[in-house]
Structure 1
Amino acid sequence: MIYKVYADNENFNNVEFSNGLNIVLGVKTETSNDTDTMNGVGKTTLLEIIDFCLGSKNDKNSYLKKIDEIKDWTFSIEMDFFNSVFTISRNIEFSKKIYIEGSVNDLPFVPEKEKGKYYFKLNDWRKYLGSYLFNLNSHSRFSPSFRSLISYFIRKRPESFIKPFEHHSKQLNWDVQVNNAYLLGLNWKCASNFQSIKENLKEIKKSLKKFDKTTLGEMETKKINLENELFTKNENLSSFKIHKNYDEIENRANQLSDELSYLSNSNMVLKRKLDKYLDSISNEVPPKNDLLGELYHEINDMFNLRTKKTLNEVKMFHDTLIKNRKSFLNVEILQIKDEIKNNNELIEEKGNERSKLMRILDTHNALDEYKLLQEQIYDDKIKLNEIKSYIDEYNEIKQNEKDINSKKNILKEKNELEYEINRGSWQESIRLFDENTKFLYGLSGELIINLKEAYDFKINFPKNDSRGISKMEIFCYDLMLLEKNSKERNIDFLIHDSQIFSDVDSRQVANALQLAQNKCNEHNLQYIFTLNSDELEKIKLELSDDFKLDELIKLKLFDNISNKHLLGFMFD
């Protein structure tokens, strides 16, 4: 239970609470004008301060952090904590330490101490609050957390008034499952285990994406083909013969190939030359003497005896020249034939040598080729191992998927069993919710818990076409959670912002407050809520005369009086 809220700044309007109903009222005065509003007087701010002292986060986007004027303020609450009343204090600027005053020696754990003051680190404070208020002893992943559980008992922001089972619009589904299961008396570990399975299956699905481009069958085929290639290459390697002088032999064979090519080309040139010389000899014929004389006679005996004598001499010279040329050509022809013969002999000799060398090369291999084959085999083995690893990884992932789905089926059976084991507890939740809705509307409301993957929560509410019906669903659900958990744990307070009653008919609000008062009186509970004065007057008209609503007002905050705002000043 929370008894007092105050600050270390004198401008702050302190407030004290008691068991039962506690109203924080926003008052619109008679002198207020149209621009004055009860939004901003500090009703929601007060709830934020209570939650702040109970360990809410305080980053740059936090509600209180945005108010520059209070950045060095320290807020305090007095509350029950392990069977004693303690003062809990937290500074806006230095918010990672929570200071505690009271019978610290009676606590089951020892606070740290600094300059004579006891404090908890923020995470420790949350852990100890969870232990005291909700009997939390598990802090593993996907387990109930104090900050999530307490948010069902302190609804202060618009997004917390949308659905009964959610306190925040961005609340994760597993968090909804686990924390509601815990509060309703179900086995929350089933919900937690289902979430773990979901995460594992999500990881498996993510891992299987790498196999999308290549099927298992394709990889098996690649493996078989590569194994066949490796077998063949290993067979070749085992029969591989290496000649110690392979490189020298290969170089000599290449040299002989070049020489043979040169000799063949040389013979081709010589043969062409020989053919030319032979053709020249066959065409060398001396001219007839009478032809030249007849020519001279035709030109009227232009040549005398002396000239004719000279022509005879020329003929003799020409005959001699032809004879000498034939002799030269015959000598050249003999030389060419000898050279061709020598070349042919060399071609035969070198050809025989090259053939012998090629036979050696054909039956042996070079060391470089041997190394190359070894490298190919090595590379293929790496590829084969990669493919085998690929296949093994795929099969392992698929086997894990099968195992997880098998565990999932087992968990479903276990959840059904746990559902029956905890029947008494969750049936109490359903009974209390039905009781609350009957009080408000005279009709049963259905809190439905379906077994699917973990749990599926649903509410069928009477008169679901009425204005503000979703708010009354939340009210009935929260009041049920308070009553049920106060019996089993130490949570004994419920806090609502005025949004819980917005758009709700004043008759239903009156019934809701009467119901809350009855529950608080019966079980010694505390209900703190904010309200505006115009709504208060409407509600009073619907209440019986013995319901003294004005006496439940613990703090009045006025719209047009600065020092009557919660913080002692106006702020946006």
Structure 2
Amino acid sequence: MYLRKLSANNPGFHTIYFKDGLNFIVGKRENPEEKDLKNTYNGVGKSLAIELIHFCLGSKKIDVFKENLEGWIFTLEFNLNGEEYIVSRNCSEQNNVILNGKKVSVGKYTDLLLEKVFCFEKDNKIKYLTFRSLISRFIRRNKSSYTKYDKYQDKETDYAKLINNAFLLGLDVNLIETKMLLKKSIDELDKNKKIVEKDPILKEYFIGNEDLDFEIIDLKDEVKELENKVKEFKVAENYRNIQEEADILSYEIREIRNKISLSENSIRKIEKSISIKPEIELDKIIEMYGEAKLLFEDKVKKKLNEVTDFHNKLLLNRKERLEKQKETFEKAKEDLQAEIIAKGIELDKKMKFLGGYGALEEYNALYTKLNTLRNKLEKATDYKNLIETYDDRAAQANIDIEKQKLEASKYLKEHKEMLEDIMATFRYYSKAFYKNKASGLDIKINDGLNQIRFDINAKITGDSSDGISEVCIFCFDMTLLKLKKHNVNFLFHDSRLFSNMDPRQRLSLLKIVDEETKNGKIQYISSINEDMISTIRDVTNEEEYQHYKKLIDQNTILTLTDKSDEDKLLGMTIDLPYDK
């Protein structure tokens, strides 16, 4: 894939014609003597050119383009596998592009580029490996992407970073994806386990119960006991009728006993009345009045005698009457006692029946209780089995990760020559900058319980300084480009890459890209500030300085200045905060 041309429908735009080999977009200042040199290069459009390339290669919507460049259409022409492609994208309608005269969605467009540029089959896509994530490795876009060699996109996860870099280095990304999926399955198991543990029913009965096994055993015993009761339970269809009859008999027996008590009370009263003897004797009456000094005539005595006889006769009749009443109550008592015995026998039969059978309501209540216990037992058992399953699957996943670790380790051993080639490629470029500094790009197993299968480390000793860090960025990018695990033939850097390099490093970089692009198979494109050539004057002789000055001049494809609005990339001055 080679870039050929970037243009716009607005005549004020400075069309960029890319060529084979070296390509420089140079930013110049109107006042060369300005002390604050860095600021004078801002705003002319060097970095914007990179943003526009990304825009035409299917980046996400850029809102500031829609807001500030309404109606602008940018067109990128590129060559891919010997075929010419022309793609246009409208700032006001960014969901689609016009590819070789046909309207297609941005999604279908980037899918096509993924297949053509990075040789992905339609049905063989890998998550996090996209055209956008991969092409960003060859066109560093944002300020943050110039801070570390393996940082290309904002908010890119460590896993996404690894799988994209590994793919371009030629590593087996399936090994990387497998560990990620295993770790995700462990995380998902942990997540589901926590959800189960938060289940309100489970939480009420089982969570935090350290004796869950004992709880299950107790529930099993209760269920078994109730099952036996249910099994032995005999339901009588007329249970309620018999129970009502038994209740009536019990009531009648109580009433009879009350009647017997009344009869016994009456008999006792009669017996008490009979025992009282209120006879009156005439002699006692005369004796009593004699003591009172009263004398009765014979005539009066005769009358008293008659009254006494009459009274005693009445008492005799009363006694006979009470005796008869007593006999009546005793007979009634005997009849009531006989009735109690008969009803008691009948009641005993009914109670015996009721003792051997039960009502349907009682059976249902018993069965309901049994079902409740069964459900609780099932829930407890399911919970235990579920937790055990989670633990077993998590343990198995950990075992699989260990097995996969061995497989990955074996893979690295079997591909030792490939790793040495990667190391040698990186060292070739780093040694061109620092002959006496240790450097390298090694790939090792990451055996942590995480999603990262390999640790890819590019290092130049002493790269804690910004300059060396930027050298590491260049060396890593050139390594990805040179290994050719893709169909990308260009590398596009912003002038940010050179901002902290010292003149010797800038000179070394010029030497490398000059040499690498001589055969025309690689395009190296970079925006630079005009001071890049002037700063290397102090580290070269005049002949060498003139050589590299000429090299830059001959390969400058566009010059932008802050002299006027027309001299800027868009042909106007406009604030486009796309890089925030």
Normalising by the residue count of structure 2, what TM-score does the alignment of the two structures yield?
Answer: 0.80
Q: Spell out, residue by residue over 1:509-552, the C-alpha distance to the aligned partner (whole angstroms, 9 max, x if none).
A: 33223322222225632222223445664356556221023443
Q: Aligned AA for 1:547?
A: Y
Q: Which moved more, 1:49-58 or 1:537-546?
A: 537-546
Q: 1:203 aligns with which of 158, 166, 188?
A: 188
Q: 2:445 aligns with which of 451, 474, 485?
A: 451
CA distance in 2, matches of 1:292, 1:191: 142
Closer, same or farther: CA 156–270 of 1 in aligned 2, 3 Å: farther
CA distance in 1, matches of 2:528, 2:305: 158
CA distance in 2, matches of 1:315, 1:27: 165
CA distance in 1, matches of 2:216, 2:336: 58
SS of equivalent residue, structure 1 residue 401: helix
Q: Give 1:153 shift.
A: 1.0
CA distance in 2, matches of 1:92, 1:54: 13
Q: Spell out, residue by residue over 1:192-215, the C-alpha distance to the aligned partner (whole angstroms, 9 max, x if none).
A: 111111112222222333565658
2:332 maps to 1:355: no
Q: How many residues align?
A: 549
Q: Aligned AA for 2:341?
A: E
Q: Which residue of 2 aligns with 1:499?
A: 496
Closer, same or farther: CA 322–132 of 1 in aligned 2, 3 Å: same
Answer yes or no: is the 8 Å Cα contact 2:75–2:88 preserved in 1: yes
Answer yes or no: is the 8 Å Cα contact 1:129–1:146 preserved in 2: yes
Q: Which residue of 2 aligns with 1:189?
A: 174
Q: Which residue of 2 aligns with 1:113?
A: none
Q: Aligned AA for 1:128?
A: L
Q: Give 1:358 shift.
A: 1.0
2:541 maps to 1:538: no
Q: CA RMSD in A?
A: 4.1
Q: Aligned AA for 1:369?
A: E
Q: Give 1:491 shift.
A: 0.7
Q: Give 1:347 shift.
A: 2.3
Q: Give 1:328 shift.
A: 8.2
Q: Aligned AA for 1:525?
A: I
Q: Which residue of 2 aligns with 1:107?
A: none
Q: Which moved more, 1:198-207 or 1:209-218?
A: 209-218
Q: Which segments of 5 or more consecutive residues in structure 2 lack a partner in the other structure?
A: 198-205, 295-300, 448-452, 576-580
Q: Spell out, residue by residue over 1:253-299, the C-alpha distance to the aligned partner (whole angstroms, 9 max, x if none).
A: 1221222233334545665566567667767969999999999999x
Q: 1:166 aligns with which of 151, 174, 179?
A: 151
Answer yes or no: is the 8 Å Cα contact 1:4–1:17 preserved in 2: yes
Q: Which moved more, 1:84-93 or 1:428-437?
A: 84-93
Q: Which residue of 1 aligns with 2:112?
A: 128
Within 5 Å, give how 1:133-144 maps onto structure 2.
Answer: 133-137=117-121, 139-142=124-127, 144=129
Q: Aligned AA for 1:449?
A: I
SS of equivalent residue, structure 1 residue 350: helix
Answer yes or no: is the 8 Å Cα contact 1:6–1:14 preserved in 2: yes
**% of aligned pairs identical?**
27
Within 5 Å, give how 1:118-267 maps onto structure 2.
Answer: 118-137=102-121, 139-142=124-127, 144-210=129-195, 214=207, 218=211, 220-267=213-260
Q: Which moved more, 1:132-141 or 1:192-201?
A: 132-141
Q: Spell out, residue by residue over 1:414-455, the C-alpha distance to the aligned partner (whole angstroms, 9 max, x if none).
A: 212322333323322211211212111222312121112420
CA distance in 2, matches of 1:362, 1:19: 106
Answer yes or no: is the 8 Å Cα contact 2:76–2:87 preserved in 1: yes
Q: 1:432 aligns with which of 425, 446, 465?
A: 425
Q: Give 1:185 shift.
A: 2.1
Q: Which residue of 2 aligns with 1:460?
A: 459
Q: Give 1:490 shift.
A: 1.8
Q: Which residue of 2 aligns with 1:564?
A: 567
Q: Spell out, residue by residue over 1:49-96, the C-alpha distance to the aligned partner (whole angstroms, 9 max, x if none).
A: 1011111111xxx3644x523133211111112212322212223333
CA distance in 2, matches of 1:272, 1:558: 135
Q: Which segments of 5 or more consecutive residues in structure 1 lack a partner in the other structure?
A: 102-116, 302-307
Q: Which residue of 2 aligns with 1:106?
A: none
CA distance in 1, matches of 2:266, 2:8: 125
Within 5 Å, give how 1:469-508 maps onto structure 2.
Answer: 469-485=468-484, 488-508=485-505
Q: 1:56 aligns with which of 59, 71, 77?
A: 59
Q: Which moved more, 1:503-512 or 1:229-238?
A: 229-238
SS of equivalent residue, structure 1 residue 468: helix
Q: Spell out, residue by residue over 1:276-334, the C-alpha distance to the aligned partner (whole angstroms, 9 max, x if none).
A: 67667767969999999999999x99xxxxxx999999999999999998888777766
2:11 maps to 1:10: yes
Q: Aligned AA for 1:7?
A: A
CA distance in 1, matches of 2:442, 2:382: 49
Closer, same or farther: CA 413–357 of 1 in aligned 2, 3 Å: same
SS of equivalent residue, structure 2 residue 547: coil
CA distance in 2, matches of 1:42, 1:252: 107
Closer, same or farther: CA 527–338 of 1 in aligned 2, 3 Å: farther
Closer, same or farther: CA 562–225 of 1 in aligned 2, 3 Å: same
Q: Spell out, residue by residue over 1:134-183, the C-alpha distance to the aligned partner (whole angstroms, 9 max, x if none).
A: 22336434363221111111111122223222322421222122111111
CA distance in 1, matches of 2:39, 2:144: 25
CA distance in 2, matches of 1:321, 1:388: 93
Answer yes or no: is the 8 Å Cα contact 2:533–2:548 preserved in 1: no
Q: Spell out, residue by residue over 1:364-420, the C-alpha distance to the aligned partner (whole angstroms, 9 max, x if none).
A: 333333444444555555555545544544444444334433432332222123223
Q: Which residue of 2 aligns with 1:99?
A: 98
Answer yes or no: is the 8 Å Cα contact 2:183–2:397 preserved in 1: no
Q: Spell out, residue by residue over 1:443-495, the C-alpha distance to the aligned partner (whole angstroms, 9 max, x if none).
A: 2312121112420122331233434332222121112211222xx43211112
Answer yes or no: is the 8 Å Cα contact 2:89–2:98 preserved in 1: yes
